[in-house]
Amino acid sequence: MADVERMYVNGEWVLAQGGATFDVVNPADRSVVARVTNGAVPEVERAVTAAHAAFREWSLLAPKDRGRVLLKIQELMEERRDDLARLVTLENGKPFDEAKKEVQFSLGYFGWFAEEARRLTGEWIPSPQPGKRYWVLHQPIGPVAAVTPWNFPATMVTRKIAPALAAGCTVVLKPASATPLTALAIAKIAQDAGLPPGVFNVLTTNRSGLVGTELLTHPLIRKIGFTGSTGVGKGIMAAAARQIKRLSFELGGNAPFIVFEDADFQAALDGAVAMKFLRVAGQSCICANRIYVQRSIADRFVPAFIDAVTRLRVAPGFKPGAQIGPLINEETRAKVHALVEDAVKRGARLVTGGHYLDGEPYAKGFFYAPAVLLDVTDDMAIAREEIFGPAAPILTFETEEEVIRRANATKFGLAAYFYTRDMTRLIRVAEQLEYGLVGANDAAGYTHEIPFGGFKESGLGREGGHEGIEEYTEVKSVVVNLS
Protein backbone atom coordinates (compact mmCIF):
# COMPACT_ATOMS: atom_id res chain seq x y z
CA MET A 1 0.00 0.00 0.00
CA ALA A 2 1.26 3.43 -0.92
CA ASP A 3 1.83 6.40 1.35
CA VAL A 4 -0.95 8.60 2.57
CA GLU A 5 -2.82 10.36 -0.24
CA ARG A 6 -2.72 14.10 0.29
CA MET A 7 -5.47 16.61 -0.34
CA TYR A 8 -5.12 19.48 -2.78
CA VAL A 9 -5.36 22.94 -1.24
CA ASN A 10 -4.11 26.21 -2.69
CA GLY A 11 -2.09 24.44 -5.34
CA GLU A 12 -0.29 22.23 -2.82
CA TRP A 13 -0.60 18.60 -1.78
CA VAL A 14 -1.07 18.69 1.97
CA LEU A 15 -1.72 16.47 4.97
CA ALA A 16 -4.38 17.22 7.54
CA GLN A 17 -3.22 18.55 10.89
CA GLY A 18 -2.77 15.77 13.42
CA GLY A 19 -2.08 13.14 10.77
CA ALA A 20 -5.45 11.39 10.78
CA THR A 21 -6.26 9.17 7.78
CA PHE A 22 -9.11 7.06 6.47
CA ASP A 23 -9.11 4.01 4.22
CA VAL A 24 -10.54 3.70 0.74
CA VAL A 25 -11.84 0.17 0.34
CA ASN A 26 -12.28 -1.82 -2.88
CA PRO A 27 -15.91 -2.99 -2.74
CA ALA A 28 -15.07 -6.05 -4.87
CA ASP A 29 -12.83 -7.61 -2.20
CA ARG A 30 -12.66 -5.23 0.78
CA SER A 31 -8.94 -4.68 0.27
CA VAL A 32 -7.57 -1.27 1.26
CA VAL A 33 -6.83 0.64 -1.93
CA ALA A 34 -5.38 3.73 -0.29
CA ARG A 35 -5.03 5.65 2.94
CA VAL A 36 -6.18 9.22 2.55
CA THR A 37 -5.53 12.24 4.72
CA ASN A 38 -8.56 13.04 6.83
CA GLY A 39 -9.45 16.73 6.84
CA ALA A 40 -11.26 18.58 9.59
CA VAL A 41 -11.99 22.17 10.60
CA PRO A 42 -8.47 23.63 10.07
CA GLU A 43 -8.41 22.22 6.53
CA VAL A 44 -11.81 23.73 5.78
CA GLU A 45 -10.46 27.10 6.84
CA ARG A 46 -7.37 26.66 4.71
CA ALA A 47 -9.26 25.58 1.61
CA VAL A 48 -11.97 28.23 1.86
CA THR A 49 -9.40 30.96 2.47
CA ALA A 50 -7.52 29.81 -0.63
CA ALA A 51 -10.66 29.74 -2.76
CA HIS A 52 -11.62 33.19 -1.53
CA ALA A 53 -8.17 34.63 -2.22
CA ALA A 54 -8.07 33.17 -5.73
CA PHE A 55 -11.54 34.34 -6.68
CA ARG A 56 -10.87 37.90 -7.82
CA GLU A 57 -8.16 37.15 -10.32
CA TRP A 58 -9.86 34.06 -11.73
CA SER A 59 -13.20 35.81 -12.10
CA LEU A 60 -11.59 38.73 -13.94
CA LEU A 61 -9.94 36.51 -16.57
CA ALA A 62 -11.59 36.68 -19.96
CA PRO A 63 -14.06 33.80 -20.34
CA LYS A 64 -12.12 32.60 -23.33
CA ASP A 65 -8.95 32.34 -21.23
CA ARG A 66 -10.71 30.44 -18.48
CA GLY A 67 -12.08 28.22 -21.21
CA ARG A 68 -8.58 27.54 -22.49
CA VAL A 69 -7.59 26.02 -19.14
CA LEU A 70 -10.76 23.96 -19.06
CA LEU A 71 -10.08 22.65 -22.55
CA LYS A 72 -6.60 21.65 -21.42
CA ILE A 73 -8.11 19.78 -18.45
CA GLN A 74 -10.44 18.00 -20.87
CA GLU A 75 -7.52 17.05 -23.09
CA LEU A 76 -5.45 15.67 -20.21
CA MET A 77 -8.41 13.76 -18.81
CA GLU A 78 -8.85 12.13 -22.19
CA GLU A 79 -5.15 11.25 -22.35
CA ARG A 80 -5.31 9.72 -18.88
CA ARG A 81 -8.76 8.27 -19.34
CA ASP A 82 -7.87 4.66 -18.64
CA ASP A 83 -5.86 5.55 -15.53
CA LEU A 84 -8.81 7.51 -14.20
CA ALA A 85 -11.16 4.66 -15.07
CA ARG A 86 -8.93 2.24 -13.18
CA LEU A 87 -9.31 4.40 -10.06
CA VAL A 88 -13.07 4.54 -10.58
CA THR A 89 -13.29 0.74 -10.73
CA LEU A 90 -10.96 0.33 -7.76
CA GLU A 91 -12.83 2.63 -5.41
CA ASN A 92 -16.37 2.38 -6.78
CA GLY A 93 -16.50 -1.19 -8.10
CA LYS A 94 -18.22 -0.57 -11.43
CA PRO A 95 -17.03 -2.63 -14.43
CA PHE A 96 -13.94 -1.20 -16.09
CA ASP A 97 -15.69 -0.70 -19.45
CA GLU A 98 -18.42 1.23 -17.70
CA ALA A 99 -15.81 3.26 -15.82
CA LYS A 100 -14.10 4.19 -19.09
CA LYS A 101 -17.43 5.36 -20.47
CA GLU A 102 -18.05 7.37 -17.33
CA VAL A 103 -14.68 9.13 -17.53
CA GLN A 104 -15.12 9.79 -21.26
CA PHE A 105 -18.50 11.35 -20.59
CA SER A 106 -17.37 13.26 -17.50
CA LEU A 107 -14.56 15.10 -19.28
CA GLY A 108 -17.02 16.42 -21.86
CA TYR A 109 -18.37 18.85 -19.26
CA PHE A 110 -15.09 20.77 -19.45
CA GLY A 111 -15.48 21.16 -23.19
CA TRP A 112 -19.12 22.13 -23.04
CA PHE A 113 -18.70 24.70 -20.29
CA ALA A 114 -15.45 26.11 -21.73
CA GLU A 115 -17.60 27.07 -24.70
CA GLU A 116 -20.59 28.15 -22.64
CA ALA A 117 -18.37 30.59 -20.71
CA ARG A 118 -18.10 32.64 -23.90
CA ARG A 119 -21.85 32.71 -24.36
CA LEU A 120 -22.79 33.94 -20.91
CA THR A 121 -24.28 37.08 -22.37
CA GLY A 122 -26.45 39.73 -20.78
CA GLU A 123 -29.30 41.85 -22.05
CA TRP A 124 -29.85 45.46 -22.99
CA ILE A 125 -33.40 46.31 -21.95
CA PRO A 126 -35.35 49.03 -23.77
CA SER A 127 -36.04 51.82 -21.30
CA PRO A 128 -39.61 52.91 -20.52
CA GLN A 129 -38.32 56.46 -19.81
CA PRO A 130 -36.13 58.67 -21.99
CA GLY A 131 -32.77 59.42 -20.44
CA LYS A 132 -32.33 56.03 -18.79
CA ARG A 133 -30.56 52.88 -19.85
CA TYR A 134 -30.77 49.40 -18.37
CA TRP A 135 -28.59 46.41 -18.80
CA VAL A 136 -28.52 43.01 -17.18
CA LEU A 137 -25.43 40.91 -16.69
CA HIS A 138 -24.35 37.63 -15.12
CA GLN A 139 -21.49 37.69 -12.67
CA PRO A 140 -19.76 34.75 -10.98
CA ILE A 141 -21.27 34.10 -7.60
CA GLY A 142 -18.03 33.62 -5.62
CA PRO A 143 -16.36 30.69 -3.86
CA VAL A 144 -18.42 27.52 -4.15
CA ALA A 145 -18.56 24.44 -1.91
CA ALA A 146 -19.24 21.26 -3.87
CA VAL A 147 -20.18 17.98 -2.21
CA THR A 148 -20.42 14.86 -4.34
CA PRO A 149 -21.48 11.20 -3.97
CA TRP A 150 -19.59 7.98 -4.77
CA ASN A 151 -21.71 6.51 -7.55
CA PHE A 152 -20.12 8.50 -10.39
CA PRO A 153 -16.74 9.51 -8.91
CA ALA A 154 -15.76 11.44 -12.06
CA THR A 155 -19.01 12.77 -13.54
CA MET A 156 -20.43 14.11 -10.29
CA VAL A 157 -17.23 16.12 -9.85
CA THR A 158 -16.89 17.50 -13.38
CA ARG A 159 -20.60 18.36 -13.72
CA LYS A 160 -20.16 20.79 -10.82
CA ILE A 161 -16.65 22.12 -11.12
CA ALA A 162 -16.64 22.68 -14.89
CA PRO A 163 -19.57 25.14 -14.89
CA ALA A 164 -18.39 26.78 -11.67
CA LEU A 165 -14.87 27.37 -12.99
CA ALA A 166 -16.19 28.43 -16.41
CA ALA A 167 -18.42 31.04 -14.79
CA GLY A 168 -15.41 32.44 -12.89
CA CYS A 169 -16.07 30.87 -9.49
CA THR A 170 -13.53 29.08 -7.35
CA VAL A 171 -14.32 25.73 -5.73
CA VAL A 172 -13.74 23.69 -2.60
CA LEU A 173 -14.80 20.14 -3.39
CA LYS A 174 -15.53 17.54 -0.73
CA PRO A 175 -15.79 14.23 -2.57
CA ALA A 176 -17.51 11.18 -1.08
CA SER A 177 -15.26 9.43 1.44
CA ALA A 178 -15.73 6.17 -0.47
CA THR A 179 -14.32 7.62 -3.71
CA PRO A 180 -11.85 10.46 -3.13
CA LEU A 181 -9.12 9.08 -5.41
CA THR A 182 -10.76 9.97 -8.72
CA ALA A 183 -11.38 13.51 -7.44
CA LEU A 184 -7.73 13.83 -6.39
CA ALA A 185 -6.60 12.58 -9.81
CA ILE A 186 -8.79 15.23 -11.46
CA ALA A 187 -7.17 17.84 -9.20
CA LYS A 188 -3.73 16.65 -10.35
CA ILE A 189 -4.88 17.10 -13.94
CA ALA A 190 -6.17 20.59 -13.17
CA GLN A 191 -2.79 21.44 -11.65
CA ASP A 192 -0.96 20.07 -14.70
CA ALA A 193 -3.31 22.01 -16.98
CA GLY A 194 -2.20 25.25 -15.32
CA LEU A 195 -5.25 26.07 -13.25
CA PRO A 196 -3.99 28.72 -10.79
CA PRO A 197 -3.54 27.76 -7.09
CA GLY A 198 -6.65 28.10 -4.95
CA VAL A 199 -9.08 28.04 -7.86
CA PHE A 200 -9.93 24.38 -7.31
CA ASN A 201 -9.33 22.67 -3.96
CA VAL A 202 -10.14 19.11 -2.90
CA LEU A 203 -10.79 18.49 0.76
CA THR A 204 -10.77 14.79 1.63
CA THR A 205 -12.46 13.63 4.81
CA ASN A 206 -14.69 10.94 6.21
CA ARG A 207 -15.98 13.29 8.90
CA SER A 208 -18.66 14.49 6.53
CA GLY A 209 -21.06 15.80 9.17
CA LEU A 210 -18.46 17.94 10.91
CA VAL A 211 -16.62 19.09 7.80
CA GLY A 212 -19.86 19.46 5.86
CA THR A 213 -21.36 21.79 8.43
CA GLU A 214 -18.19 23.81 8.71
CA LEU A 215 -17.68 24.09 4.97
CA LEU A 216 -21.27 24.66 3.99
CA THR A 217 -21.93 27.33 6.60
CA HIS A 218 -18.64 29.15 6.13
CA PRO A 219 -19.35 32.87 5.61
CA LEU A 220 -16.98 33.09 2.63
CA ILE A 221 -18.80 30.34 0.74
CA ARG A 222 -21.47 31.85 -1.49
CA LYS A 223 -22.99 28.81 -3.05
CA ILE A 224 -23.43 25.11 -2.32
CA GLY A 225 -23.60 22.51 -5.05
CA PHE A 226 -24.67 19.22 -3.49
CA THR A 227 -25.39 15.84 -5.03
CA GLY A 228 -26.50 13.10 -2.70
CA SER A 229 -29.48 11.82 -0.79
CA THR A 230 -32.61 13.85 -0.19
CA GLY A 231 -32.23 13.41 3.57
CA VAL A 232 -28.76 14.95 3.73
CA GLY A 233 -29.92 17.64 1.28
CA LYS A 234 -32.70 18.69 3.63
CA GLY A 235 -30.20 19.10 6.48
CA ILE A 236 -27.96 21.23 4.28
CA MET A 237 -30.89 23.37 3.17
CA ALA A 238 -31.88 24.03 6.77
CA ALA A 239 -28.30 24.97 7.72
CA ALA A 240 -27.92 27.15 4.62
CA ALA A 241 -30.98 29.16 5.58
CA ARG A 242 -28.96 31.07 8.15
CA GLN A 243 -26.98 32.81 5.43
CA ILE A 244 -29.44 32.46 2.54
CA LYS A 245 -26.78 30.58 0.65
CA ARG A 246 -27.42 29.78 -2.98
CA LEU A 247 -28.17 26.11 -3.46
CA SER A 248 -28.06 23.59 -6.26
CA PHE A 249 -29.26 20.12 -5.34
CA GLU A 250 -29.24 16.87 -7.24
CA LEU A 251 -30.99 14.45 -4.92
CA GLY A 252 -32.66 11.07 -4.90
CA GLY A 253 -35.02 9.60 -7.48
CA ASN A 254 -37.68 6.95 -7.95
CA ALA A 255 -37.90 6.55 -11.70
CA PRO A 256 -40.91 4.88 -13.28
CA PHE A 257 -40.19 2.87 -16.44
CA ILE A 258 -43.40 2.40 -18.41
CA VAL A 259 -43.87 -0.16 -21.17
CA PHE A 260 -47.03 0.42 -23.23
CA GLU A 261 -48.52 -2.42 -25.26
CA ASP A 262 -47.56 -0.70 -28.53
CA ALA A 263 -43.88 -0.32 -27.55
CA ASP A 264 -41.04 -1.55 -29.71
CA PHE A 265 -40.74 -4.74 -27.67
CA GLN A 266 -37.00 -5.31 -27.95
CA ALA A 267 -36.11 -1.65 -27.43
CA ALA A 268 -38.25 -1.51 -24.29
CA LEU A 269 -36.76 -4.75 -23.00
CA ASP A 270 -33.17 -3.66 -23.59
CA GLY A 271 -33.92 -0.24 -22.14
CA ALA A 272 -35.47 -1.66 -18.99
CA VAL A 273 -32.54 -4.02 -18.34
CA ALA A 274 -29.99 -1.27 -19.00
CA MET A 275 -31.71 1.39 -16.91
CA LYS A 276 -32.29 -0.96 -14.02
CA PHE A 277 -29.07 -2.95 -13.87
CA LEU A 278 -26.30 -1.60 -16.06
CA ARG A 279 -25.58 1.73 -14.42
CA VAL A 280 -23.40 1.12 -11.36
CA ALA A 281 -25.38 -2.03 -10.57
CA GLY A 282 -28.54 0.01 -10.17
CA GLN A 283 -26.93 2.56 -7.85
CA SER A 284 -27.76 5.59 -9.94
CA CYS A 285 -30.26 8.30 -9.15
CA ILE A 286 -31.84 7.91 -12.60
CA CYS A 287 -32.08 4.11 -12.53
CA ALA A 288 -35.48 2.54 -13.17
CA ASN A 289 -37.07 2.02 -9.78
CA ARG A 290 -40.57 0.83 -10.76
CA ILE A 291 -41.17 -1.04 -14.00
CA TYR A 292 -44.80 -0.65 -15.14
CA VAL A 293 -45.87 -3.10 -17.85
CA GLN A 294 -49.25 -2.81 -19.56
CA ARG A 295 -51.31 -5.87 -18.61
CA SER A 296 -51.99 -6.93 -22.21
CA ILE A 297 -48.28 -7.56 -22.91
CA ALA A 298 -47.15 -8.67 -19.46
CA ASP A 299 -47.31 -12.37 -20.44
CA ARG A 300 -44.75 -11.73 -23.16
CA PHE A 301 -42.65 -9.00 -21.59
CA VAL A 302 -42.12 -10.38 -18.12
CA PRO A 303 -40.61 -13.78 -19.09
CA ALA A 304 -38.32 -12.06 -21.61
CA PHE A 305 -37.19 -9.60 -18.94
CA ILE A 306 -36.50 -12.36 -16.40
CA ASP A 307 -34.57 -14.28 -19.02
CA ALA A 308 -32.40 -11.26 -19.83
CA VAL A 309 -31.71 -10.62 -16.14
CA THR A 310 -30.63 -14.19 -15.46
CA ARG A 311 -28.04 -13.83 -18.23
CA LEU A 312 -26.40 -10.70 -16.74
CA ARG A 313 -22.80 -11.28 -15.72
CA VAL A 314 -22.02 -10.26 -12.14
CA ALA A 315 -18.28 -10.04 -11.57
CA PRO A 316 -15.49 -7.92 -10.10
CA GLY A 317 -15.08 -4.83 -12.23
CA PHE A 318 -11.74 -5.75 -13.76
CA LYS A 319 -12.96 -9.13 -14.98
CA PRO A 320 -13.49 -8.95 -18.75
CA GLY A 321 -17.17 -9.12 -19.61
CA ALA A 322 -18.33 -7.96 -16.17
CA GLN A 323 -21.68 -6.16 -16.41
CA ILE A 324 -22.60 -5.76 -12.76
CA GLY A 325 -20.00 -5.13 -10.08
CA PRO A 326 -20.39 -5.10 -6.31
CA LEU A 327 -22.50 -2.62 -4.39
CA ILE A 328 -20.55 0.15 -2.72
CA ASN A 329 -20.67 -1.23 0.82
CA GLU A 330 -22.42 -3.60 3.17
CA GLU A 331 -24.93 -0.98 4.32
CA THR A 332 -26.15 -0.45 0.77
CA ARG A 333 -26.37 -4.17 0.10
CA ALA A 334 -28.28 -4.75 3.33
CA LYS A 335 -30.71 -1.96 2.43
CA VAL A 336 -31.45 -3.41 -1.00
CA HIS A 337 -31.94 -6.86 0.51
CA ALA A 338 -34.26 -5.51 3.19
CA LEU A 339 -36.45 -3.90 0.51
CA VAL A 340 -36.59 -7.21 -1.40
CA GLU A 341 -37.48 -9.17 1.74
CA ASP A 342 -40.11 -6.66 2.74
CA ALA A 343 -41.75 -6.89 -0.69
CA VAL A 344 -41.81 -10.70 -0.51
CA LYS A 345 -43.35 -10.51 2.95
CA ARG A 346 -46.09 -8.30 1.52
CA GLY A 347 -46.93 -10.67 -1.30
CA ALA A 348 -44.46 -10.01 -4.11
CA ARG A 349 -42.95 -13.02 -5.90
CA LEU A 350 -39.17 -13.16 -6.16
CA VAL A 351 -38.50 -15.00 -9.44
CA THR A 352 -34.74 -14.67 -9.74
CA GLY A 353 -31.79 -13.44 -7.66
CA GLY A 354 -32.41 -11.44 -4.53
CA HIS A 355 -29.66 -12.86 -2.34
CA TYR A 356 -26.05 -12.23 -1.38
CA LEU A 357 -23.51 -13.86 -3.66
CA ASP A 358 -20.77 -15.90 -2.01
CA GLY A 359 -18.03 -18.26 -3.10
CA GLU A 360 -15.33 -17.09 -5.51
CA PRO A 361 -14.99 -14.50 -6.91
CA TYR A 362 -17.67 -12.92 -4.74
CA ALA A 363 -16.79 -14.01 -1.22
CA LYS A 364 -15.12 -10.85 0.05
CA GLY A 365 -17.09 -8.28 -1.95
CA PHE A 366 -20.53 -6.70 -1.68
CA PHE A 367 -22.13 -8.63 -4.55
CA TYR A 368 -25.86 -9.11 -4.91
CA ALA A 369 -27.71 -11.40 -7.30
CA PRO A 370 -29.86 -9.28 -9.70
CA ALA A 371 -33.44 -9.64 -8.53
CA VAL A 372 -36.80 -9.53 -10.28
CA LEU A 373 -39.99 -9.22 -8.24
CA LEU A 374 -43.47 -9.75 -9.67
CA ASP A 375 -46.87 -8.75 -8.26
CA VAL A 376 -45.39 -5.64 -6.68
CA THR A 377 -47.87 -2.97 -5.58
CA ASP A 378 -47.41 0.79 -5.29
CA ASP A 379 -47.67 0.78 -1.51
CA MET A 380 -44.67 -1.52 -0.97
CA ALA A 381 -41.50 0.18 0.28
CA ILE A 382 -39.59 -1.14 -2.74
CA ALA A 383 -41.88 0.91 -5.01
CA ARG A 384 -41.99 3.98 -2.81
CA GLU A 385 -38.32 4.29 -1.86
CA GLU A 386 -35.19 4.65 -3.91
CA ILE A 387 -33.82 1.09 -4.20
CA PHE A 388 -30.30 2.01 -5.31
CA GLY A 389 -29.38 -1.52 -6.25
CA PRO A 390 -29.96 -4.42 -8.65
CA ALA A 391 -33.58 -5.28 -7.83
CA ALA A 392 -36.41 -4.79 -10.32
CA PRO A 393 -39.97 -4.53 -9.09
CA ILE A 394 -42.52 -5.24 -11.85
CA LEU A 395 -45.98 -3.71 -11.64
CA THR A 396 -48.79 -3.93 -14.19
CA PHE A 397 -51.33 -1.36 -15.35
CA GLU A 398 -54.42 -1.15 -17.58
CA THR A 399 -54.67 2.39 -18.95
CA GLU A 400 -52.50 5.35 -19.85
CA GLU A 401 -54.32 7.65 -17.47
CA GLU A 402 -53.87 5.20 -14.61
CA VAL A 403 -50.15 4.70 -15.16
CA ILE A 404 -49.44 8.43 -15.36
CA ARG A 405 -51.25 8.97 -12.09
CA ARG A 406 -49.33 6.14 -10.43
CA ALA A 407 -46.00 7.20 -11.93
CA ASN A 408 -46.43 10.72 -10.54
CA ALA A 409 -47.56 9.59 -7.10
CA THR A 410 -44.17 10.05 -5.44
CA LYS A 411 -42.29 12.81 -3.70
CA PHE A 412 -39.44 12.30 -6.18
CA GLY A 413 -39.24 13.70 -9.71
CA LEU A 414 -35.85 13.08 -11.26
CA ALA A 415 -36.18 10.71 -14.23
CA ALA A 416 -38.95 8.75 -15.96
CA TYR A 417 -39.00 6.51 -19.02
CA PHE A 418 -41.71 5.20 -21.29
CA TYR A 419 -41.94 3.26 -24.53
CA THR A 420 -44.69 3.65 -27.12
CA ARG A 421 -44.95 3.82 -30.91
CA ASP A 422 -47.99 6.09 -30.80
CA MET A 423 -46.70 9.61 -31.41
CA THR A 424 -49.71 11.39 -29.98
CA ARG A 425 -49.38 9.32 -26.82
CA LEU A 426 -45.67 10.05 -26.74
CA ILE A 427 -46.33 13.78 -26.57
CA ARG A 428 -49.18 13.43 -24.07
CA VAL A 429 -47.24 11.25 -21.67
CA ALA A 430 -43.99 13.22 -21.95
CA GLU A 431 -45.86 16.39 -21.03
CA GLN A 432 -47.70 14.88 -18.08
CA LEU A 433 -44.86 13.11 -16.30
CA GLU A 434 -43.69 15.29 -13.40
CA TYR A 435 -39.99 14.61 -13.89
CA GLY A 436 -36.95 16.67 -14.83
CA LEU A 437 -35.70 14.07 -17.31
CA VAL A 438 -38.07 12.06 -19.47
CA GLY A 439 -36.80 9.30 -21.75
CA ALA A 440 -39.35 8.61 -24.49
CA ASN A 441 -38.26 5.38 -26.22
CA ASP A 442 -34.83 6.15 -24.82
CA ALA A 443 -32.84 4.85 -21.91
CA ALA A 444 -29.51 6.53 -22.55
CA GLY A 445 -29.96 9.25 -19.96
CA TYR A 446 -28.85 12.79 -20.54
CA THR A 447 -26.08 14.63 -22.32
CA HIS A 448 -23.94 17.71 -21.62
CA GLU A 449 -26.04 19.97 -23.80
CA ILE A 450 -29.32 19.63 -21.88
CA PRO A 451 -30.24 20.75 -18.38
CA PHE A 452 -30.42 17.93 -15.85
CA GLY A 453 -32.19 18.04 -12.51
CA GLY A 454 -35.23 17.06 -10.55
CA PHE A 455 -38.78 18.16 -9.79
CA LYS A 456 -40.14 18.02 -6.24
CA GLU A 457 -37.80 16.49 -3.63
CA SER A 458 -35.33 15.36 -6.29
CA GLY A 459 -33.54 18.64 -6.49
CA LEU A 460 -33.16 22.33 -7.01
CA GLY A 461 -31.57 23.97 -10.03
CA ARG A 462 -30.06 22.29 -13.07
CA GLU A 463 -26.67 20.94 -14.09
CA GLY A 464 -25.52 20.81 -17.71
CA GLY A 465 -27.07 22.71 -20.59
CA HIS A 466 -26.96 26.47 -20.68
CA GLU A 467 -28.72 26.55 -17.30
CA GLY A 468 -25.75 24.76 -15.73
CA ILE A 469 -23.46 27.77 -15.92
CA GLU A 470 -26.13 30.29 -14.91
CA GLU A 471 -26.46 28.40 -11.62
CA TYR A 472 -23.02 29.75 -10.71
CA THR A 473 -23.84 33.37 -11.41
CA GLU A 474 -25.74 36.23 -9.85
CA VAL A 475 -27.85 38.43 -12.11
CA LYS A 476 -27.21 42.14 -11.88
CA SER A 477 -29.37 44.92 -13.31
CA VAL A 478 -27.61 48.21 -13.96
CA VAL A 479 -29.68 51.37 -14.13
CA VAL A 480 -28.01 54.36 -15.79
CA ASN A 481 -29.43 57.83 -15.57
CA LEU A 482 -28.23 59.91 -18.51
CA SER A 483 -30.12 63.08 -17.70
169 counts as catalytic: no
| Beta carbon nearer to ligand NAP, 59 or 208 | 208
- Report in angstroms how near the CB of residue 269 gets to ligand NAP at its nearest: 25
Residues of the shown chain interacting with ligand NAP in the complex, contacts defined by CB under 6 A: 147-151, 156, 174, 176-178, 206, 208-209, 212, 227-229, 232, 235, 250-253, 285, 386, 388, 414, 454, 459
| Beta carbon nearer to ligand NAP, 255 or 340 | 255
| Beta carbon nearer to ligand NAP, 23 or 261 | 23
Given 43, 250, 400, 470, the catalytic residue: 250
- Report in angstroms how near the CB of residue 218 gets to ligand NAP at its nearest: 12
261 counts as catalytic: no
> Residue by residue, what is the 3-state secondary structure of the chain?
CCCEECEEECCEEECCHHHCEEEEECCCCCCEEEEEECCCHHHHHHHHHHHHHHHHHHHHCCHHHHHHHHHHHHHHHHHCHHHHHHHHHHHHCCCHHHHHHHHHHHHHHHHHHHHHHCCCCCEEECCCCCCEEEEEEEEECCCEEEECCCCCCCHHHHHHHHHHHHHCCCEEEECCCCCHHHHHHHHHHHHHCCCCCCCEEECCCCCHHHHHHHHHCCCCCCEEEEECCHHHHHHHHHHHHHHCCEEEEECCCCEEEEECCCCCHHHHHHHHHHHHHCCHHHCCCCCEEEEEEEHHHHHHHHHHHHHHHHCCCECCCCCCCCCECCCCCHHHHHHHHHHHHHHHHCCCEEEECCCECCCCCCCCCCCECCEEEECCCCCCHHHHCCCCCCEEEEEEECCHHHHHHHHHCCCCCCEEEEECCCHHHHHHHHHHCCCCEEEECCCCCCCCCCCECCCHHHEECCECCCHHHHCCEEEEEEEEECC
| Beta carbon nearer to ligand NAP, 54 or 232 | 232
| Beta carbon nearer to ligand NAP, 74 or 283 | 283
- Report in angstroms how near the CB of residue 396 gets to ligand NAP at its nearest: 26
| Beta carbon nearer to ligand NAP, 24 or 199 | 24
- Report in angstroms how near the CB of residue 42 gets to ligand NAP at its nearest: 18
Given 91, 116, 169, 285, the catalytic residue: 285
- Report in angstroms how near the CB of residue 455 gets to ligand NAP at its nearest: 11
- Report in angstroms how near the CB of residue 261 gets to ligand NAP at its nearest: 30
Active-site residues: which are they? 250, 285
